[in-house]
Amino acid sequence: MRVYVSRRYHLSASHRLHAESLSADANREAYGKCNNPYGHGHNYVVEVTFSGDVDPQTGMVADLAQLDQFARQHVLARFDHANLNTLDEFSGVVPTTENFAVVLHGIFAAFAHPGLEKVHVEETENNSFDYAGAGDWPGGGTL
Amino acid sequence: MRVYVSRRYHLSASHRLHAESLSADANREAYGKCNNPYGHGHNYVVEVTFSGDVDPQTGMVADLAQLDQFARQHVLARFDHANLNTLDEFSGVVPTTENFAVVLHGIFAAFAHPGLEKVHVEETENNSFDYAGAGDWPGGGTL
Amino acid sequence: MRVYVSRRYHLSASHRLHAESLSADANREAYGKCNNPYGHGHNYVVEVTFSGDVDPQTGMVADLAQLDQFARQHVLARFDHANLNTLDEFSGVVPTTENFAVVLHGIFAAFAHPGLEKVHVEETENNSFDYAGAGDWPGGGTL
Amino acid sequence: MRVYVSRRYHLSASHRLHAESLSADANREAYGKCNNPYGHGHNYVVEVTFSGDVDPQTGMVADLAQLDQFARQHVLARFDHANLNTLDEFSGVVPTTENFAVVLHGIFAAFAHPGLEKVHVEETENNSFDYAGAGDWPGGGTL
Amino acid sequence: MRVYVSRRYHLSASHRLHAESLSADANREAYGKCNNPYGHGHNYVVEVTFSGDVDPQTGMVADLAQLDQFARQHVLARFDHANLNTLDEFSGVVPTTENFAVVLHGIFAAFAHPGLEKVHVEETENNSFDYAGAGDWPGGGTL
Amino acid sequence: MRVYVSRRYHLSASHRLHAESLSADANREAYGKCNNPYGHGHNYVVEVTFSGDVDPQTGMVADLAQLDQFARQHVLARFDHANLNTLDEFSGVVPTTENFAVVLHGIFAAFAHPGLEKVHVEETENNSFDYAGAGDWPGGGTL
C-alpha cells in the first residue's frame, strides 16, 4: 500500500529577479516590477511529498518528527527571514521560485527516506511551482 | 529541469443546469436544485498549469505577465460577471463545471507556450474539476 | 461571562445589480459589469454572531443544532441556488450584498435567542459586508 | 473527454497513536505526543476524486448528489464525531491518517462509479495523505 | 496611536461534551453527537488580541517573540495533543469551546502586557467563539 | 441602516526591522531574525473597512470601483513589489506592520468617503494588525 505523505512549511523571504547576463532593459522586460532594485518579498509555502509503503507495525510511511527536524535545520534556518539573492545557492542563479523549487528538491533529496516525490512551492496564493526531479513520476519527473 | 507552473484566476458567473434533450422531470432528477429556472452562481477559481524546462538565463518556465494578459483577454473578459448559459460556448452544451473546464482548456491551449498540462476549476470550496486534454499525462490525459 | 458565538453558512446564488429608478446609463455607471442584464453569481458565506452568558450547566451560549435547523429552513432553503432578483425580499430592492446582509439580519432576529449581534456576508474572498442592526453595539449598530 | 471530479467532506474525530505490538518506550519513540494515552483529535478533510468521460447529454462525470448520500451514510455517519480507536476498522490497526486514507479508499471503491482515482485526507492544514489504490495511476497506485 | 495586534496558534485536542449534572437523555438532547462517550476532536485555532500604543522607538505594540514563548509554555504544552476532559481546568466544567475560550483568556491575562483585548477560538472552519473578559470593550466585555 | 463594507488588497513587499536609535545588540534583541541586514518579505493582505448608510436607490454604501482605483493608485502602485525601508513613509520610522497599518490608515483617510473605520493588515496567516485611528470606535479608536 503506497501512500503519499505531504507536509507544509512556511517561510518569509525576499528576492530580486535580475539576471546578470541580461541588459537593464532586458531585465525589466523579463521581470517587470519584480526587477525593482531594492527587492520585495513573499510568505512562501513549501510542501514536500514522500511516498512509500505503510509500515504494517506503526502505520506510518515516514517519520514526520524527523522530517520536521530536517526541515528546521536545512530549510527554515537557511531560507526563513532571508534575502534569497545573498545566499550561495543563488550565486549566479536568479532566485525565481522555479529555481527555488529545484534547490529545495535537492535539499529534501538528502532526507533519510527514499521516496521523495516532489516539492511544491507557493509564492503567493495565486502562484505555485512544482518540481519532481529529473526522472519519471512516480519517482520524479511529472506531476 | 521540468518545472510545473500553476496560476489561479478568480471569476464570478451564473449558470443553470438544464439539458434541452431531457424532460422536465429528467432535468430535475439529474440536476436537483441546480435546475432552478432562474439560475444561481458561483465564485469560480480557475487554475491553469504549464510545464517546461527552466530557462537557464531567466530562471523562468513561462512568462506569467503574458499569461495574465491572455487570461484577462480570453477568460476574464468573457466569463467574469457573465451568465454562462447565454454564451456561444454553451450553445447546446450544458454549462456544468465539467464542460467549463474543457472549454477553458481549449482556450488556454492557444496561449503561446507549448506545455499546457491541465486546467483545474473550483466551483465551490468543496467541489473541483480537472481536465488535462485528450492525450497522456504529462502532455494531457491523466492527473 | 458573555461569550460571542459565530457560525458560518455557505450558499450559492445569482444576482443582477440594476435599479429600476435609474436610467440605463446611470445603472452602468453605478454597477459596472455587475449590471450585465443576464446576471452573474457568487458563493456567499453568511456568518451570524450571537452573544450571551455561558450557561453554567451546559457550558453553552446558544443551541447551535437549533440554529442550524433555523438556518436551513429560513436561509438556505430560500437563498441557496436561487436568483436573488426573483425573490420577494428584493422586490423593489436592489440585491446588493449590503441589502442582503440587512435582509439576513432581519431573518436571524427571529431566531429564539435574544443576543443577535451581527450578520457578516462574504460576497467574494475579497469583499465582505457587516450589519449589526439599528442600535448600539453591543446590542447592534457598530462593529 | 476524461474529466476528474473531486469532492470534499469534513469530519471531526479523535485518535490515539499506539501500536499494541510495540513497548511503551517504542510507542513514545514512534508517535511522540500523539501517543498521549487520552488521545487528541482533528478536523479531517476528506477529498475523493473520480474520473470518467463527460456524459454528452448531462455534461456530468458522476452524480454528486448520490455521492453525497453515499458519503453521509458510509463515511460521515461512521467517522464524524467518533473516536477512531474504538471502531472495527481500526481493530488491530493503528489509526494513523495513512491507514485512515486506505480505509476510506476501500469505502469509496464501493460507490456506484467505476472511476475512483484517489482519496486525499488532510489531518491538519500542514499535513495530508493520499492513497490511490494498489494499481497504476490512473486507475490507482500513483499520484 | 493604539494598534491591535493579533496572533494565531494551532492545537489539536479531543473532548467529550457531557454534563455530570444532567441525565443521559438531557446530555444527548443538549449535545447530540458531541455527547458520544468516546469523544471526538478538533484542530483548534486560538487567536489572541492585544492593544496598546506603538512604541515610537521600536514601532511595536508587544513583543511577539515573548508572546510565542508564553503561548508555547502555557497554552500549547498544556492543550496541544491533549484530551480536554482530563485536564484540571475542566474538572467539573464541560469543555465546550465557550468555556475553553474563557480558560484561555484567563491564561493570556497573565502575559506581561496590559492590553489583552480578547481571545478568539475556532473549533471548526464554520464555528468560532470570542471572549473579551468581564469589562467593557475595549478593556473587555464586548466585541 | 449603517452597513460596514470591507475590501481586501494583496501586495508583496520586503522590509528589515532595524531602529537607527538602537545599538546593534538592542536591535537583535528587539527584532530577532527580522533584524537580518539583508531583509526578508511578506505577502501582505490589507483590508480596509468603511461604514455608512445604505443608499436607498443604489443599495450601496460606497463605490467599490472607485475604491479599487484609489487603492491601485495610492497603495498598490507604491507598496506592491517594494522594499518598505526605501520609501519616504518609513524614513526614520521602522517599517513594522504596526507602523504600516498606521500609514495605510492615513492614506485611506483621503478616499472620498467619510466613513473610514479601520485598516487591518495581515503580515502572515498567523499575524495581523488593526488600526482604527485616534478617535472612538465607531469613528475610530477601538476595534
Alpha-carbon gap, residue A90 to B49, rounded angstroms: 25
Measured between beta carbons, the chain F residues lying within 8 angstroms of A41 are 12-15, 39-42
| More confident site: A133 or F129 | F129
E12 pairs with which residues across the strands? E43
Confidence at residue D135, expressed as pLDDT on a 0 to 100 scale = 56
Catalytic-residue membership of F34: yes
Model confidence over D100-141: pLDDT tens digits? 999 999 999 999 999 999 999 999 999 999 998 875 444 333
Q: What percent of chain C is modeled with pLDDT above 70?
A: 94
Model confidence over E113-134: pLDDT tens digits? 999 999 999 999 999 999 988 7
Confidence of residue D1 (pLDDT cuts 50, 70, 90): confident
Min distance B60 CA to chain A CA atoms (Å): 6
Is pLDDT at B137 greater than 90 in this prediction? no
Inter-chain CB proximity A60 and D126 less than 8 Å: no
Q: Which amino acid is at D86?
A: T
Min distance F57 CA to chain E CA atoms (Å): 31
Min distance C90 CA to chain B CA atoms (Å): 14
**Spans of all domains in chain D:** 2-131
Confidence at residue D143, expressed as pLDDT on a 0 to 100 scale = 43
Confidence at residue D136, expressed as pLDDT on a 0 to 100 scale = 47
- CA F6 to chain centroid, in Å, comes to 13
Q: Report which of F12, F10, F9, F34 is spatially closest to residue F82, judged by C-alpha positions.
A: F12
Say if F84 is an interface residue toward chain E (CB within 8 Å). no
E128 pairs with which residues across the strands? C6, E122
Is pLDDT at F140 greater than 90 in this prediction? no
Confidence at residue F32, expressed as pLDDT on a 0 to 100 scale = 96
Model confidence over F9-63: pLDDT tens digits? 999 999 999 999 999 999 999 999 999 999 999 999 999 999 999 999 999 999 9
Is pLDDT at F86 greater than 60 in this prediction? yes
Q: Divide the 143 residues of chain A into consecutive groups of 10 and give the mean pLDDT of each group.
A: 94 97 96 96 97 95 97 98 97 96 96 94 97 62 41
Q: What percent of chain D is modeled with pLDDT above 70?
A: 94
Inter-chain CB proximity E61 and F98 less than 8 Å: yes
Architecture of domain B2-131 in CATH? 2-Layer Sandwich (3.30)
Q: What percent of chain E is modeled with pLDDT above 90?
A: 90
DSSP state of A58: T
Query: Which residues numbered 44-83 in E keep a CB inside 8 Å of some CB on F?
Result: 49, 51, 54, 57-61, 63-65
Alpha-carbon gap, residue C14 to B34, rounded angstroms: 12
Is pLDDT at F7 greater than 50 in this prediction? yes
CB of D5 within 8 A of CB of D62?
yes
Go through chain A and tell me how many residues it has.
Answer: 143
Confidence of residue F134 (pLDDT cuts 50, 70, 90): confident
Inter-chain CB proximity A81 and F40 less than 8 Å: yes
Helical H runs in E1-143? 24-31, 64-71, 77-79, 97-108
Q: In what helix (H) or strand (E) does residue E109 lie, and over which residues does it extend?
A: none
Chains in contact with A, where contact requires at least 3 CB pairs less than 8 Å apart? B, D, F
CB of A35 within 8 A of CB of A17?
yes
Model confidence over E38-73: pLDDT tens digits? 999 999 999 999 999 999 999 999 999 999 999 999
Is pLDDT at F143 greater than 90 in this prediction? no
Alpha-carbon gap, residue C80 to B33, rounded angstroms: 9
Is pLDDT at E77 greater than 80 in this prediction? yes
Confidence at residue C135, expressed as pLDDT on a 0 to 100 scale = 56
CB of F14 within 8 A of CB of F84?
yes
Query: Which grid coordinates are listed for C143?
Result: 462593529
Say if E102 is an interface residue toward chain C (CB within 8 Å). yes
* Region C49-78 average pLDDT: 96
Alpha-carbon gap, residue A17 to B62, rounded angstroms: 14
Inter-chain CB proximity D102 and A54 less than 8 Å: yes
Say if C101 is an interface residue toward chain F (CB within 8 Å). yes
Confidence of residue B136 (pLDDT cuts 50, 70, 90): very low
Say if E128 is an interface residue toward chain C (CB within 8 Å). yes
Query: Which grid coordinates are listed for E107?
Result: 491564561
Say if A96 is an interface residue toward chain D (CB within 8 Å). no
| Of the partner residues C17, C95, C134, the one whose CB lies closest to the CB of residue F1 | C134
Label residue F21 exposed, middle or buried (CB < 10 Å: 0-12, 13-18, 19+). Answer: exposed
* Region B26-53 average pLDDT: 96
Q: In what helix (H) or strand (E) does residue F45 lie, and over which residues does it extend?
A: strand F40-53
Q: What percent of chain B is modeled with pLDDT above 70?
A: 94
CB of F73 within 8 A of CB of F5?
no
Is pLDDT at B138 greater than 50 in this prediction? no
Q: Which amino acid is at D142?
A: T
Q: Which residue of D has its CA nearest to A10?
A: D126
* Region D35-45 average pLDDT: 97
Alpha-carbon gap, residue A143 to B118, rounded angstroms: 11
CB of A92 within 8 A of CB of A105?
no
F40 φ, ψ (degrees, to nearest 5): -155, -170
Alpha-carbon gap, residue C80 to C14, rounded angstroms: 9
Confidence of residue B1 (pLDDT cuts 50, 70, 90): confident
Measured between beta carbons, the chain C residues lying within 8 angstroms of B80 are 33, 40
Confidence at residue F135, expressed as pLDDT on a 0 to 100 scale = 56
If you average pLDDT over every residue of chain B, what do you get? 93
Label residue C55 exposed, middle or buried (CB < 10 Å: 0-12, 13-18, 19+). Answer: middle
Confidence at residue E135, expressed as pLDDT on a 0 to 100 scale = 55
DSSP state of A136: P
SS3 C110: coil
F129 pairs with which residues across the strands? E5, F121
Q: Which amino acid is at B23?
A: S
Is pLDDT at D8 greater than 80 in this prediction? yes
Q: Establish whether this prediction's ipTM goes over 0.95.
A: no
Chains in contact with C, where contact requires at least 3 CB pairs less than 8 Å apart? B, E, F
Neighbours of F85 (CB within 10 A): 18
Confidence of residue E87 (pLDDT cuts 50, 70, 90): very high
Inter-chain CB proximity C41 and B41 less than 8 Å: yes
The model's pTM: 0.95
**Could you tell me whether strands F40-53 and E116-124 are parallel, antiparallel, or unpaired per DSSP bridges?**
unpaired
DSSP state of E70: H
Is pLDDT at B143 greater than 50 in this prediction? no
Confidence of residue B134 (pLDDT cuts 50, 70, 90): confident
Measured between beta carbons, the chain E residues lying within 8 angstroms of D125 are 10, 43
Model confidence over B62-121: pLDDT tens digits? 999 999 999 999 999 999 999 999 999 999 999 999 999 999 999 999 999 999 999 999
